[in-house]
Amino acid sequence: MNEVIKNMLERRSIRKFKPEQISRKDLDIILEAGLYAPCAGGRQGVIIVACQNRAINAELGKINHSFFHGRMSTAAAYISKEQPSIADDPKITDGLYGAPTVITLFGARNFLYATPDCSVAAENIMLAAHSLGIGSCMIMRTEDTFDSDFGKRLQKTWGIDESYQAKAFVILGYSATEPPKTKPRKENRVKVVE
Ligand SMILES: Cc1cc2nc3c(=O)[nH]c(=O)nc-3n(C[C@H](O)[C@H](O)[C@H](O)COP(=O)(O)O)c2cc1C
């Protein structure tokens, strides 16, 4: 199997991190991969902020968690046994899992394809991270998190115009455990039509 396909098949969401920060060199490579994602109309409108300030990330994680009102997992239907999500473990209070690097992807509020643009950039970022041995996870509730007083102030401090909206988080860091096992793929989800 070629390395690109192997990288895609082996990437798993990581939610338990070592405290160690990723290097600036690796971060720059990962961010550049994000910049090279496809983008609707070739606009290159996505703005990417990588935050390595632990206090800010902890506050964002707390606010992010406060907007989680999803269904909790059950013994039969869970997200990850090895690296539980906030839906798996009610004791987790940080929606960003204490990750040492938190990336926020911003897209223009008035652009129809801002969310898919941010999503494909997020995938490039996660695959680039995995290829460098760095764990990642895409996290939602981003709009709500940045709609808080803290989020609005932060967006201003970061110099990002309010015409941009935070659309997705990607957290990064070294996995604290062996990567979670891959779940078998659900069947009958692909059709090839001639
Ligand atoms: C659009 C999107 C939103 C997600 N939001 C969250 C989230 O808020 N919190 C979380 O812990 N994981 C989140 N995930 C990660 C998924 O739970 C994970 O991708 C899924 O369980 C499959 O596991 P895998 O990535 O290891 O293959 C999200 C993934 C995607 C694609």
Write down all domains in the chain, each with its CATH number in brackets: 3-173 (3.40.109.10)
pLDDT of residue 123: 98
User: Of 165, 87, 166, 169, which Cα lies nearest the Cα of 136?
Assistant: 169
Q: Report, as an integer, the average pLDDT of 60-87.
A: 93
Least confident of 51-65, 68-82, 91-105: 68-82
| Mean pLDDT calculated for residue range 17-25 | 98
pLDDT at 70 over 90: no
What is this structure's pTM?
Answer: 0.97
Nearest to 136, CA basis, from 120, 115, 116, 122? 122
CA-nearest residue for atom 7, ligand 1, is 139
Structure tokens at 173: 């860091």
pLDDT of residue 146: 98
Confidence band for 79, pLDDT divided at 50, 70 and 90: very high
Please report which confidence band the pLDDT of residue 126 belongs to, taking 50, 70 and 90 as the band edges: very high
Confidence at residue 76, expressed as pLDDT on a 0 to 100 scale:
85
pLDDT at 33: 98
Instruction: Please state the atom number of ligand 1 nearest to the C-alpha of residue 64.
Output: 8
- Residue located nearest, by CA, to atom 12 of ligand 1: 139
3-state secondary structure of 61: helix
Tens digits of residue pLDDT in 153-179? 999 999 999 999 999 999 999 999 998
**Cα 160 to middle of ligand 1, angstroms:** 26
* Residue 154: predicted pLDDT: 98
* 79 Cα nearest atom in ligand 1: 21
Euclidean distance between CA atoms 127 and 172, whole angstroms = 11
pLDDT bracket for residue 71 (50, 70, 90): confident
Task: Please tell me what DSSP assigns to residue 42.
Answer: G
80 alpha carbon to ligand 1 midpoint, in Å? 10
Whether residue 145 is predicted with pLDDT greater than 90 in this model: the reply is yes
Find the mean pLDDT for residues 111-128.
98
Helix 24-35 with 114-131: angle, nearest 10 deg: 140
Ligand 1 interacting residues, C-beta cut-off 6 A: 12-13, 15, 79, 85, 137-140, 180
Quote the DSSP letter at residue 58. H
H helix intervals, 37-85: 54-66
Instruction: Give 55 Cα–ligand 1 centroid separation in angstroms.
Output: 24
34 — pLDDT class (breaks 50, 70, 90): very high
